[in-house]
Structure 1
């Protein structure tokens, strides 16, 4: 039996999505709507801020997207579960929770990155913790239901520990940075831009750990209804989003300016952050076998930790109906 929707809301922080939903019909998705959930980073934020995708998509299919902002992946997933949005970009872990809870969605595109995008293991500047084994008995912060949770699980496993050996502290990403700086947590698992902010402004130190073969990925998800029929709206939107990624890779200085404004970070910090992602930091591709294999490893790790109660077969939610336009 799949986990309940109520359990999904508990895991993913459903209350956090309420302000984000605004005037959208939370339980009545419309055929003539494309509501896109985005965070203040990545190619969706750039596309929304530039505004050019809206005009191109409307010219192509007669419809422009509605943009809805979220602080992280978990509340975005809950909004999709409620029917309030149709498309979004998230990390691997929220999607596993969603699938385990029966949320009607598909992984329609993705991107596999190197270690540069992976969640980081941070401790305070004066901390005596030197490796994952030092987490035993400590307060460890991460965003529950996010990709940071699986990174924390991998670090603990590498040291022969489990969640039962630590004091987990569930925090929103920005709150985690503040908590680490103030000493309210002993360690933090988080992603960029929060990793860069913690390093640059609070002197946080990064510690390496065995990632158990996990890759850093970005997943683009959509309500299953969008993948039906010819999926013309979805494929048109994916083509336009790929065009935005090509623009961003070719115009990195402007992309840096946009993202720096979003994160309220100096452009030099954002440039360093993007530099960790390699030559083409922005991208969106049809789902690959590598992406699917990594997603299954994430699901298996969450099952082993008891975070989900039943096995999931991730191949069931991969959709491969998009062939990028030439």
Structure 2
């Protein structure tokens, strides 16, 4: 992965502030505003999926003369690789682990929004009739997990709680779709998944949750990111997107059945399962703070200890965008 990311030095110059944008670290000013914002997302990117479907973001950006293009990715790591390579301008939510891997590969990131913790929205699943009853019993088992996803850190934390290390299991690095197929097909002993994949698999296979992120195991926050270049020239766009995400998150929680029905149509899955999944996600969008990123260092250190990161990472070495109201 380190070959994919470029190693650019972080540019800091004065005068980057704009009326709609306040940064924790200054960025270069670009005189020409963007004509297009390229948004990368995943299938499970709930709020972005809803904004894409209702067209409200395009309408809000029209007075600025900015168009939107949408780019789907299978998981968070390819999404951030595309951001770092300049192929997209903004990402939908990615799990807290993903920026850690990106930083380890030399990426320079700008955080512009976060979702409050949702610890029960990811879990370790075992088949309904599995004899596995404790985390310690995962020893020697084949476990499907998506590399670099939030579920990857949950697995590390759960193994540590059970007195195990990553070397005590046989990991199967699979995409969510392939992980589900392997799990339902009986080709793995357990699967670490996140919603809505988690909820749909529970509903269809009666799989049992062995552990989720509650009780301090893994808070599971999700972050929205942009590039240095776009944060500098697209200040009004970022500010508008932040407000749209915040409003959409509030709407989902206030209208659970309507939101579930709309997402079920978009995703082609059962509305009841979507409602369960939405109930486990906070969808509370807010500004990112240095203190709020505290668990990022814990995540990075856990991956480094298991030799899953190529080098140590200072997770505080990122740029934070904040709305002018902050």
TM-score, normalised relative to structure 1: 0.84
What is the Cα-based RMSD across aligned positions, in Å? 2.3
Secondary structure at the residue paired with 1:216? Answer: coil
- Deviation (angstroms), 1:229: 6.2
Contact kept, 8 Å, 1:5 with 1:102, in 2: the verdict is no
- Deviation (angstroms), 1:320: 3.4
d(CA) in 1 for partners of 2:305 and 2:232?
Answer: 34
- Unmatched runs of 5 consecutive residues or more in structure 2: 7-32
- Unmatched runs of 5 consecutive residues or more in structure 1: 9-29
- Deviation (angstroms), 1:95: 0.9
Q: Deviations over 1:15-48 (max 9, x none)?
A: xxxxxxxxxxxxxxx9432101112331111100
Determine the structure 2 residue equivalent to 1:14: none
d(CA) in 1 for partners of 2:325 and 2:256?
Answer: 22
Contact kept, 8 Å, 1:57 with 1:240, in 2: the verdict is no
**Judging changes above 3 Å, is the alpha-carbon distance between structure 1 residues 290 and 196 closer, same or farther for their aligned structure 2 residues?**
farther
d(CA) in 1 for partners of 2:204 and 2:37?
Answer: 38
Contact kept, 8 Å, 1:40 with 1:262, in 2: the verdict is no
Determine the structure 2 residue equivalent to 1:259: 263
- Deviation (angstroms), 1:290: 4.7
1:100-179 mapped onto 2 (5 Å cutoff): 100-117=104-121, 119-179=122-182
Q: Deviations over 1:77-124 (max 9, x none)?
A: 12212211111121011111101111232111101224232x201111
Q: Does residue 276 of the first structure (1) align with residue 280 of the second (2)?
A: yes
Q: 2:226 aligns with which of 222, 225, 238?
A: 222
Q: 2:2 aligns with which of 1, 4, 29?
A: 4
Q: Could you tell which deviates more after superposition, 249-258 or 163-172?
A: 249-258
The aligned length equals: 297
Contact kept, 8 Å, 2:146 with 2:175, in 1: the verdict is yes
d(CA) in 1 for partners of 2:262 and 2:77?
Answer: 24
1:1-326 mapped onto 2 (5 Å cutoff): 4-6=2-4, 31-41=34-44, 42-59=46-63, 61-88=64-91, 89-117=93-121, 119-208=122-211, 213-228=217-232, 231-277=235-281, 281-323=282-324
Contact kept, 8 Å, 1:4 with 1:101, in 2: the verdict is yes
d(CA) in 2 for partners of 1:249 and 1:306?
Answer: 39
**Judging changes above 3 Å, is the alpha-carbon distance between structure 1 residues 236 and 275 closer, same or farther for their aligned structure 2 residues?**
closer
d(CA) in 2 for partners of 1:245 and 1:193?
Answer: 16
Contact kept, 8 Å, 1:296 with 1:314, in 2: the verdict is yes
Determine the structure 1 residue equivalent to 2:21: none
